Homo-oligomer: A and B are copies of this chain.
Amino acid sequence: MSNLIQEFNNYRSKMNEVILGKNNLVMKRLWNLDTNTYEAGALDVATKEMLGLVASMVLRCDDCIKYHLGKCHEVGITTEQVYEVFAVANIVGGTIVIPHTRRAAEYWEELIAQ
């Protein structure tokens, strides 16, 4: 696994454990709810993950982008499709989304190189 992917996953797991270890009920329930949100329903998982990706991009949250890129890769979204999501994010959110798109593109390259 590439460095970027492994570092992201390791830090995420380590800190999630710290946070959940404090037993704050609201935090725990929000995280469960977050999982429910992306499960198949009237929309399939691939569509929902692309929704999560574009929302993360326009809000410019690099870690959220990485998380949803990982999921998009898992469910078989193609590079051409991912770049159309990038395009929507850049048009809606403007050129301030470009630096986040650079980091997203870098992470995507590592995902497809695995």
Contacts and interface: CB of A to CB of B under 8 A. Distances in A.
Interface of A: 11-12, 15-16, 18-19, 22, 24-27, 29-31, 33-34, 36-38, 41-43, 47-48, 50-52, 54-64, 78-81, 83-99, 101-103, 105-106, 109
Contact of A55 (B18, B62, B83, B92): B92
Contacts of A99: 61-64
Given A27-B83, A41-B84, A59-B92, 8 more contacts: A31-B98, A34-B98, A42-B83, A43-B81, A43-B85, A48-B88, A54-B54, A91-B94
A15 B103 CA distance: 8
Q: Main SS of the interface on chain A?
A: helix
A18 B92 contact: no
A95 B91 contact: yes
A92 B51 CA distance: 10
